Structure 1
Amino acid sequence: MRIIEEISFPGCKVSILAMNQKFILKFEKGNLEQTYKVAEIDLIFGLDDVKKLLNEEFLTQVMNRFKQMDNDFDEQLAQL
């Protein structure tokens, strides 16, 4: 697996990686992580198409998912 690019967005870090004919989008926020895999064959323009996925709407959904993940994890920790 190799890192192609790292991008900082407000509230999270995004890494674009390549492995086994797939692009991997990895989002990190604190102790939480989300990953999305896209086959290179599904993209006409390769890395340029991957970057187009990082639009405002998708990033908002990712950040909302982080909030939900954080809430879920906090609830589980509280039950210990």
Structure 2
Amino acid sequence: MRVVNEVKKEEVKITLFDWNNKYLIKFETGGMEQTFKISALDVPEEKSLELMLEGEFFEDVKERFNEMHQSLQKAMKNF
């Protein structure tokens, strides 16, 4: 597995990997992470992946983190 790029944006660590004819985009914040796998055949060049770190896709990732956090908090109340 090769790290293509690593950036931090709005408290979210983003790591791009090249692995096994796939690109992995890993988003991390706090104790949570989201990973997306994309076939290398669907990506014209590695720099194209950086476009996915902007706009609606990134906003959806942040919203999903909020949902994950709320779900965890709700589950922790049951202990």
Aligned to 2:14: 14
- How many angstroms does 1:8 deviate by? 0.8
List runs of 5+ in structure 2 lacking aligned partners.
Answer: none
Alpha-carbon distance in structure 1 between the residues aligned to 2:21 and 2:60: 26
Question: What letter matches 2:61 in structure 1?
Answer: V
- The CA RMSD measured in Å over matched residues stands at 0.9
Q: Within 5 A, what are the aligned runs for 1:54-73?
A: 54-73=53-72
TM-score (norm 1): 0.92
Alpha-carbon distance in structure 2 between the residues aligned to 1:40 and 1:3: 14
Q: Give structure 1 regions of 4+ aligned residues with deviation exceeding 4 angstroms.
A: none
Sequence identity, in percent? 28
- How many angstroms does 1:56 deviate by? 2.0
Aligned to 1:51: 50
List runs of 5+ in structure 1 lacking aligned partners.
Answer: none
How many residues are paired up? 79
